Structure 1
Amino acid sequence: MKPDFVDFHAHLDLYPNLADAIRICESSKTAKLAVTTTPRAFARNKELAKGSSFVRVALGLHPQLVAERASELALFADLLPQTRYVGEVGLDASPRHYRSFDNQKEVFGTILDLCAEAGDKVLSLHSVRCAKHVLDMVEAGLPTGRGAVVLHWFTGSASEARRAVDMGCYFSINERMFASAKVGAVLKVIPPDRLLTETDGPFVERNGVPLQPCREQQR
Structure 2
Amino acid sequence: MDFHCHLDLYPDHETAVREADEAGVFTLAVTTTPRAWPRNHELAQRTKHVRAALGLHPQLVAEREAEIALWDDYLSETRYVGEVGLDAGPRYYKSMEAQQRVFQHILRRCAGAGDKIITVHSVRAVRAVLEHVEAFLPRSRGKVVMHWFTGTKSEARRAMELGCYFSINAAMLASERHLTMVQAIPLDRLLTETDGPFTRTEDRPSKPSDVASVVEELGRLHRLPAAHVAKIVRDNLRNLVS
What's the TM-score once normalised by structure 1's chain length? 0.94
Instruction: Please give the alpha-carbon distance, in whole angstroms, between the structure 2 residues aligned to 1:122 and 1:216.
Output: 20
Q: Which residue of 1 aligns with 2:204?
A: 209
Bigger mean CA offset, 143-152 vs 175-184: 175-184
Instruction: Please give the alpha-carbon distance, in whole angstroms, between the structure 2 residues aligned to 1:180 and 1:156.
Output: 13
1:189 paired to 2:223: no
Which runs of no fewer than 5 residues in structure 2 stay unpaired? 214-242
For residue 123 of structure 2, what is the amino acid of its counterpart?
V
Indicate if the aligned counterparts of 2:44 and 2:51 stay in contact, CA closer than 8 A: yes
For residue 99 of structure 1, what is the amino acid of its counterpart?
K
Any idea what the Cα deviations from partners look like across 1:66-103, whole Å, max 9, x if unmatched?
00110100010110000000000000000011010111
3-state SS of 1:59 partner: coil
Which runs of no fewer than 5 residues in structure 1 stay unpaired? 1-5
For residue 128 of structure 2, what is the amino acid of its counterpart?
H
Q: CA deviation at 1:184?
A: 2.5
- Match of residue 41, structure 2, among 41, 46, 54: 46
Instruction: Please give the alpha-carbon distance, in whole angstroms, between the structure 2 residues aligned to 1:20 and 1:181.
Output: 35
Q: Which residue of 2 aligns with 1:3?
A: none
Bigger mean CA offset, 180-189 vs 81-90: 180-189
Q: Which residue of 1 aligns with 2:13?
A: 18
Instruction: Please give the alpha-carbon distance, in whole angstroms, between the structure 2 residues aligned to 1:206 and 1:32.
Output: 17
Instruction: Please give the alpha-carbon distance, in whole angstroms, between the structure 2 residues aligned to 1:51 and 1:41.
Output: 17
1:110 paired to 2:119: no
Runs of 4+ in 1 over 3 A off after TM superposition: 215-218
Any idea what the Cα deviations from partners look like across 1:30-64, whole Å, max 9, x if unmatched?
10000000000000111112111000000000000
For residue 139 of structure 1, what is the amino acid of its counterpart?
E
Matches within 5 A, 1:166-177: 166-177=161-172
Q: Which residue of 1 aligns with 2:67?
A: 72
3-state SS of 2:51 partner: strand
Indicate if the aligned counterparts of 2:199 and 2:205 stay in contact, CA closer than 8 A: yes
Q: Which residue of 1 aligns with 2:29?
A: 34
More helix as a share of residues: 2
Indicate if the aligned counterparts of 2:108 and 2:136 stay in contact, CA closer than 8 A: yes
Q: Which residue of 2 aligns with 1:135?
A: 130
Q: How many equivalent pairs are there?
A: 213
Any idea what the Cα deviations from partners look like across 1:101-142, whole Å, max 9, x if unmatched?
111000000000000000110000000001000000000000
Q: CA deviation at 1:186?
A: 1.1
1:62 paired to 2:57: yes
Indicate if the aligned counterparts of 1:12 and 1:213 stay in contact, CA closer than 8 A: no
Q: Which residue of 2 aligns with 1:9?
A: 4
Q: CA deviation at 1:214?
A: 2.5
3-state SS of 2:31 partner: coil
Q: CA deviation at 1:180?
A: 2.5
Seen in structure 2, the aligned counterparts of structure 1 residues 188 and 212 have a Cα distance that, compared at 3 Å, is: closer
